[in-house]
């Protein structure tokens, strides 16, 4: 099976492409009316994640509506803690909430390893999506990084500082490593299942990378990400570690293929820290999509010029904000396609 | 009037000191039982800020109890928006909330410039504190940075992304600059009043520096901070811009005397970006104070070694977390004093 549009995979492998591929984090979601139509039929977000046919439907929407060069399976990073034995709720306007968290050795021992049984609904959604995509564009599978999942499993909800999770690293480093290792085992099973179901490339989201100093990030996060990447080497991998300014060099030293940059990371500095052997992904400021089309186009061109033609996958530097107009997202995507093609021809 | 202990001021000016001075962001607050005793007599935090005698009392508590080398006036960064005409509430466990925010030109035109009348209670608290401190240690005055106050005045409350405030920078840059300029005028009046009342050194807190890319930070934040610093050049100034990884070099190019580092900023890298002409402040991880005393002492020594003996003011890299044991804070402070004295004598 050859993909009609394999720009994303070729760019991830460092091959030359006729234009820069583009997709948008959180592209399947509240920015699309078509998504909201599906969503409002259901009682909640988690319900949608667990209905493979509807998950496949919303996964494909941005391919049809926005013209992105990849679909990303509609799911949630917190399905892993749930599959390990910690169920959660999604509170409207307040984010995720875990009634039970990990505090003691006993809590730790009770955790299961996530497997194909507990997460089969994601595999089913991937199979359905692949079938319906009919090889038009690649499908991105994903997971939360062990450190980010650790934060939720310890704190039970979002936090500005995740001080309880960080407390654990100082107070009980061995306990922390055991939990991180268990999460890692579950993630490896999960990603292997995603590959078997048809995922073409994988992204690891480390949303809370930014709360750790570089030495702790390397020890309590990147070590486990690296183990994951080495276990799923059959397809390309992307690391997106938001706020990991001080660890870009270490991320460049893992065996991943693509390094995602957040909107605050300087492109030239990141390239020199990450090295020439990786593809970079990102990193337009999602707040720029609130501006008029002229400014969106200008910011998009500025970004493309800084990344250059090779080894770049265009994206935002953070998930698209839910109150963004879909037309503005489309304007960004169209400008990437048009301008990056011109860049290759040298006539711009 | 000569201060008995002027270590902090000498270090800020780059003079040699017999040991490293130390204080702790949020040292006057919930970590101290003595503070909680005062606080529980009142209906709220904002009430305490506005009672000069009690504000002076809690300002001095950490000097007596923890042995810090400076007091910092007990107040709040949000007194400025309030003095400009936007009152706020402090919601228990949820943070600040502004019933009215700035949306239109009309809102902007209604704003006043803060003056000695509207903020006289802070001047009074400073005068009382100076009197009761009796020149034992210097008194730090402070303000929020224009960008951070802009965030609250636009959003009306805390936010993970401050996307509404960032939206304004793209949608209405001229409007944004007018508001930032008005805030800056108020801050300059406020800091001049603090100096006249007896403040010995000033810190500018830019808590939300980290949500802006470097070019925007320089244009919408640092430009105004620089204007403030140039207007209050009679006493030393400290900039603490949390998360401003990409702007450390530009911060080093302002006329401030001290640059505060957050706990994620690499010390050596920051020194080379900021240059040799500034004193650095920080930056122990506040989560390290959750560990046992041995680890606290070890982390403290590690930090002191990395900063070296000159041009350093020891502090945490963020405000002390409210659930930290006061004894652990004391352990950090004592270790700074003891170990940094040994460092000077070369016998450690």
pLDDT for residue A94:
84
Q: A201 has which bridge partners? A: A140
Rounded distance, CA B140 to CA B195, Å?
10
Asked if the peptide bond before residue B12 counts as cis, ω within 30 degrees of 0, the response is no
User: What confidence category does residue B193 fall into, taking pLDDT thresholds of 50, 70 and 90?
Assistant: very high
B319: contact with A, CB 8 A cutoff: no
Answer yes or no: is A174 within a domain: yes
Residues of chain A neighbouring B318 (CB-CB closer than 8 A): 161
Answer yes or no: is B334 within a domain: no
What CATH code is carried by the domain that includes residue A116?
3.20.20.210
Subunit contact B264:A158, Cβ cutoff 8 A:
no
Subunit contact B288:A170, Cβ cutoff 8 A:
yes
Is B152 a catalytic site residue?
Answer: yes
Residues of chain A neighbouring B212 (CB-CB closer than 8 A): 264
Subunit contact B246:A245, Cβ cutoff 8 A:
yes
B284: contact with A, CB 8 A cutoff: no
B160: contact with A, CB 8 A cutoff: yes
A248: Cβ–Cβ under 8 A, 6 or more apart, which residues?
A: A259, A265, A270, A273, A274
Domain count across chain B:
1
Element (H, E) at A229: helix A223-231
Answer yes or no: is B322 within a domain: no
Considering the candidates B13, B30, B127, B344, report the single residue annotated as catalytic: B30
User: What confidence category does residue B210 fall into, taking pLDDT thresholds of 50, 70 and 90?
Assistant: very high
Is B26 a catalytic site residue?
Answer: yes
Answer yes or no: is A1 within a domain: no
A175: contact with B, CB 8 A cutoff: no
Q: CB B228: neighbour CB atoms within 10 A?
A: 24
Residues of chain A neighbouring B166 (CB-CB closer than 8 A): 285, 287, 290
How close, in Å, is residue B321 to chain A by CA atoms? Answer: 8
Q: Which of A160, A170, A291 lies closest to B291 in CB terms?
A: A170
Among A277, A341, A304, A303, residue whose Cα is nearest residue A14 = A277
| Span B285-324, pLDDT tens digits | 999 999 999 999 999 999 999 999 999 999 999 999 999 9
A173: contact with B, CB 8 A cutoff: no
pTM to 2 decimals?
0.96
| Span B57-115, pLDDT tens digits | 999 999 999 999 999 999 999 999 999 999 999 998 789 999 999 999 999 999 999 99
How close, in Å, is residue A36 to chain B by CA atoms? Answer: 21
Average pLDDT over residues B175-186: 98
Answer yes or no: is B292 within a domain: no
| Span A186-235, pLDDT tens digits | 999 999 999 999 999 999 999 999 999 999 999 999 999 999 999 999 99
Rounded distance, CA A119 to CA A113, Å?
11
Residues of chain B neighbouring A269 (CB-CB closer than 8 A): 246
ipTM of the complex: 0.93
By C-alpha distance, the chain A residue nearest B292 is A171
Answer yes or no: is B211 within a domain: yes
Q: Does the structure show a pLDDT above 70 at A38? A: yes
Answer yes or no: is A212 within a domain: yes
Is A248 a catalytic site residue?
Answer: no
Contact (Cβ atoms closer than 8 angstroms) between residue B155 and residue B164: yes
Answer yes or no: is A2 within a domain: no
Alpha helices in chain B (DSSP H): 7-12, 33-39, 45-49, 52-65, 79-84, 105-110, 120-133, 146-155, 163-171, 173-197, 214-217, 223-231, 248-252, 267-274, 293-307, 326-345
Please tell me whether residue A325 adopts helix, strand or coil conformation: coil
Q: B238 has which bridge partners? A: B203, B258
Is A26 a catalytic site residue?
Answer: yes
A297: contact with B, CB 8 A cutoff: no
Q: CB B212: neighbour CB atoms within 10 A?
A: 30
B288: contact with A, CB 8 A cutoff: yes
Contact (Cβ atoms closer than 8 angstroms) between residue B140 and residue B73: yes
| Span A272-311, pLDDT tens digits | 999 999 999 999 999 999 999 999 999 999 999 999 999 9
Structural domain of B27: 7-283+308-317
Subunit contact B210:A321, Cβ cutoff 8 A:
no
Rounded distance, CA B178 to CA B108, Å?
8
């Amino acid at each position: 099976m050859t993909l009609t549009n394999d720009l994303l995979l070729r760019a991830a492998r460092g091959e030359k492409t006729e234009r820069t591929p583009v997709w948008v984090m959180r592209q399947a979601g509240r920015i699309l009316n078509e998504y909201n139509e599906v969503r409002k039929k259901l009682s909640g977000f988690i319900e949608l994640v667990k209905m493979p046919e509807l998950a496949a439907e919303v996964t494909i929407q941005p391919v049809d509506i926005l013209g992105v060069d990849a679909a990303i399976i509609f799911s949630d990073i917190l399905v892993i803690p749930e599959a390990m034995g910690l169920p959660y709720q999604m509170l409207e306007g307040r984010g995720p909430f875990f009634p039970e968290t990990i505090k003691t050795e006993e809590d730790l021992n009770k955790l299961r390893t996530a497997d194909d049984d507990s997460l089969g609904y994601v595999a089913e959604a991937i199979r359905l999506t692949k079938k319906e995509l009919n090889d038009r564009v690649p499908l991105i599978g994903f997971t939360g990084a062990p450190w980010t999942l650790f934060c939720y499993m310890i704190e039970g909800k979002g936090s500005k500082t995740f001080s309880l999770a960080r407390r654990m690293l100082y107070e009980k480093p061995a306990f922390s490593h055991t939990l991180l290792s268990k999460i890692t085992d579950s993630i490896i099973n999960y990603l292997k299942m995603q590959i078997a179901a048809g995922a073409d490339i994988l992204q690891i989201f480390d949303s809370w990378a930014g709360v750790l100093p570089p030495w702790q990030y390397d020890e309590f996060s990147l070590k486990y990400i690296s183990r994951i990447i080495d276990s799923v080497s059959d397809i390309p991998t992307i690391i997106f570690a938001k706020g990991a300014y001080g660890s870009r060099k270490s991320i460049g030293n893992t065996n991943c293929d693509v390094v995602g940059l957040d909107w605050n990371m300087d492109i030239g500095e990141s390239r020199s820290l990450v090295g020439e052997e990786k593809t970079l992904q990102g990193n337009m400021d999602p707040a720029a999509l609130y501006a008029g089309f002229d400014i969106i186009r200008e910011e998009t061109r500025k970004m493309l010029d800084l990344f250059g033609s090779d080894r770049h996958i265009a994206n935002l530097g953070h998930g698209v904000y839910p109150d963004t107009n879909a037309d503005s997202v489309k304007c960004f995507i169209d400008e990437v396609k048009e301008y990056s093609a011109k860049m290759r021809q040298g006539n711009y």
